[in-house]
Amino acid sequence: MQSDQWQAFIAQFAQLSHRQRKASADLLRNGAQQETVICLIEQAAQAQLHCPACNSFHFYRHGHEHGLQRYRCVPCGRTFNALSGTPLAHLRYKARWLAYADCLLGSFSIRKAAEHLNIHRNTSFRWRHRFLALAKSDRPRCLHGIAEADEMYMLESQKGSRHLTRPARRRAGRARQRGISNEQVCVLLARDSTGQTVDFVTGLGQLTKARLHACLPPVIDRDILLVTDGHPAYPVFARELGIMHEAVNLRASIRVRGTVHVQNVNAYRSRFRSWLSAFHGVATRYLPNYLGWRWILDARRILSPESLLKATLGDFPHMTVT
C-alpha cells in the first residue's frame, strides 16, 4: 500500500463506531497471534517433516494453505503441511491456540476455557484432548534407586458414551458393591526418589501379579529397591522378576521404617486426586490424558504455552528424561 493510500485508510478510522473499532483491534491482534502460532508450528515441524501418507522425506514446496507452507510428496503425489498427521490437524482458530495452552497450564475447566477464549464448550473439550495427545507421552524411561509403587482405585465412568455397557448411574453415584470390584478402575503409580513418575491404567478390579508384569518391567532397573504397601501381588512380582522388595504395613500404622516408606508416591496420589476433583468426574477412557496432564504440571517440565504447543506437535526440546 502506498503512503497516500495508507493515510486515506487511516483517516476513515475516525468514522468507525466503538464496536467497529473494537472489532478492528481484535482482528489485528488475532492476526499477530496467528503469525506467532504459525511460526512456532513451522519451527517445530522442520526437524521431523515428512509425508504422513508414505513417510517419504522427498518433497518440495507447493504453495500455501491456511497460512501454512504446503508441500507435495514426490513418490505418492500427496500434499501436506506441518500439521498433517499431528493431533492439531484440521483444527481451526490457530490464533487462540497459545491462549488455550495457557488455560491448560492453569488447569482451567472446559467451560471456563471456552468462556475465556469465546469458543464453544465442545471445541474446548476437543482441543483439551488434542493438546494432551502427545504431551502426555513424555515420561521417564526408567526409574532408579529406590522406587515406591502404589495403586489407587477410581469409579469406572462412561461419561459421554452413547452406548453404556452397564446400567446408568446417577451423577456422583457410587458403586453398587462395597470394597474393590469390577466397578472400579485400577491406576498403578510408581515414583523414585528423584521424583520421576510413571503411571498405568491397568484395568477394572484388583491389581494382580500379571498386571504388574505387564507394566513395570520395562520402566525399572533390575538393581532397584521396590517399596510398596502390603498388597500380596508385589512380593510375588518382585521375586519372579528378581528385584529387591520391601513392604510397609500401613494397616498397622507403620508408614516409615528407616528409609523405607511410600510417602512420596502417596503424596503424589493425593495431589492428583485433589486436582482431579475440580473437574467433577472424568471418563475412564480419557484417564491417561489426565494422568499425563497432571505429570506435566507436577514435574514442571512444560512451563510455557509455546512449549506445550511444540510438545503437542512432537517436539520436546525442554523435556529430556533420564
Render pLDDT for 75-92 as a digit per residue (tens, 0 to 9): 888 999 988 888 999 998
Per the CB < 8 A criterion, the answer to whether 181 and 258 are in contact is no
Which pLDDT does position 239 carry in this prediction? 92
Which pLDDT does position 318 carry in this prediction? 46
Spatial separation of the C-alpha atoms in residues 282 and 279, rounded to whole Å: 7
Asked whether the predicted pLDDT for residue 28 surpasses 60, the reply is no
Whether the CA torsion 112, 299, 294, 320 is positive or negative: it is positive
Spatial separation of the C-alpha atoms in residues 125 and 127, rounded to whole Å: 5
Q: How many CA atoms lie within 13 A of 240 on its CB side?
A: 12
Which pLDDT does position 177 carry in this prediction? 77
CA-closest candidate to residue 279, choices 68, 111, 165:
111
Asked whether the predicted pLDDT for residue 162 surpasses 50, the reply is yes
Render pLDDT for 163-197 as a digit per residue (tens, 0 to 9): 888 877 777 677 777 878 888 999 999 999 888 99
Which pLDDT does position 233 carry in this prediction? 92
Spatial separation of the C-alpha atoms in residues 25 and 121, rounded to whole Å: 25
Q: Which three cell numbers stand for residue 255?
A: 508408614
Q: What mean pLDDT comes out for the span 33-50?
A: 82
Q: Which residue has the higher pLDDT, 35 or 114?
A: 114
pLDDT above 70 coverage of the chain, percent: 86
Which pLDDT does position 16 carry in this prediction? 67
Render pLDDT for 226-257 as a digit per residue (tens, 0 to 9): 999 888 999 999 999 999 998 887 665 666 66
Q: How many CA atoms lie within 13 A of 95 on its CB side?
A: 15
Which pLDDT does position 20 carry in this prediction? 64
Asked whether the predicted pLDDT for residue 67 surpasses 60, the reply is yes
Q: What mean pLDDT comes out for the span 197-214?
A: 92
Residues of the chain with CATH 3.30.420.10: 146-161+179-298
Which pLDDT does position 319 carry in this prediction? 41
Asked whether the predicted pLDDT for residue 321 surpasses 70, the reply is no
Lowest mean pLDDT among 145-149, 199-203, 282-286, 300-304: 300-304
Which pLDDT does position 253 carry in this prediction? 60
Helix (H) or strand (E) holding 235: helix 233-241
Class of domain 146-161+179-298: alpha beta
The pTM is what? 0.81
Residue 13's pLDDT band, with cuts at 50, 70 and 90, is: low
